[in-house]
Amino acid sequence: MVVAVKSDEFVIEVKLWDESNKCKWRLFGIYASTNEKKRRSQWMQLSRRLEKDREKCLLIGDFNDILSNEEKEGGNMRKAFSMRDFRDFVAQNELVDLGYEGYPFTWRNNQEARPIQLRLDRGLATSWWHDLYPDTTIRHVILEGSDHALLLLSTEKTKAWTGRKFSFDGWWSKLNKCRDLVAGE
């Protein structure tokens, strides 16, 4: 149940009540700036919000930065100092990277001549939140026509599909028996 919503330039904060666990927690939807100086200020502002009320928190969205060069493919390697602000933000707030399933990158520049891909989008959580939802997964879903992948969050254990893949054969629609079955006769 949503208790309160607060938003500003780069973050939407939602206070939630989890009835099954009988606790409240905060969700931060992030859209960080592409400007390094502005992002540094955003990390400081967000750190103050996290310090003020150290309850269970999940931060998810476009952080517009990477933690290491393993989260980058193509273009020049990033210098360690250029990732320091984001690394410090994660470390100082004791945030856990929730990882991902699927394709490793969430952004691409869509340039064939010099393709670059980065993992700019992610989920980070406090250890309290992670302990509350230990089966959390984030799936990177590639969207055609978008330069960013969708983040699909699940806090429940996902059951592996063991059945066969279903494929519809267009020929079936021409069979009377199939049309009657679909019509419910």
pLDDT tens for residues 8-48? 889 999 999 999 889 999 999 999 999 999 999 999 999 99
Q: How confident is the model at residue 62 (pLDDT cuts 50, 70, 90)?
A: very high
**Do the beta carbons of residue 70 and residue 101 sit within 8 Å?**
no
Rg of the Cα atoms in the chain: 21
pLDDT in tens, 94-104: 999 999 999 99
Q: What is the residue-averaged pLDDT of the chain?
A: 90
Q: Give me the torsion for CA of 130, 91, 87, 26, rounded to 10°.
A: 40
Q: Are strands 2-7 and 150-154 parallel, antiparallel or unpaired?
A: unpaired
Question: pTM, whole model, 2 decimals?
Answer: 0.81
Domain count, the chain: 1
* CATH number of the domain bearing residue 14: 3.60.10.10
Owning domain of residue 62: 2-183
* Residue range 68-86, pLDDT digits in tens: 999 999 999 999 999 999 9
